[in-house]
Amino acid sequence: MLACNLLVEFCREISKVRGVKKVNGLVVEVDAETDSIRLTVEGKDIDFDELQSVVKRLGAAIHSVDEVLVEG
């Protein structure tokens, strides 16, 4: 199971991405090989390319983006 300190560090690194103001991480599934987490990332003008790069650097992958809110 994903250790609490690893989840905290993962969220902390995501929070450093340009434009990110809030990160909420939740462990949603655990199996023998992987842990699945759901991240809610909030901010203004988030650099999605940088976000993807940080996730990959941390050894994870984005499997879906379920909601996007754009304000003009």
Q: Is pLDDT at 1 greater than 80 in this prediction?
A: no
**What's the mean pLDDT in 21-27?**
95
Query: Per the structure, how many domains does the chain have?
Result: 1
> CA 38, 8, 42, 65: dihedral to nearest 10 degrees?
-30
pLDDT tens across 40-66, in order? 999 999 999 999 999 999 999 999 999
| Distance in angstroms (rounded) separating the CA atoms of residues 45 and 40 | 15
Domain membership flag for residue 71: no
Domain membership flag for residue 36: yes
Q: What is the pTM of this model?
A: 0.85
Here the CATH number for the domain that contains residue 22 is 3.30.70.1340
Domain membership flag for residue 69: no
Domain assignment of residue 46, given as a range: 4-57
Contact 61, 55 (CB under 8 A): yes
Domain membership flag for residue 64: no
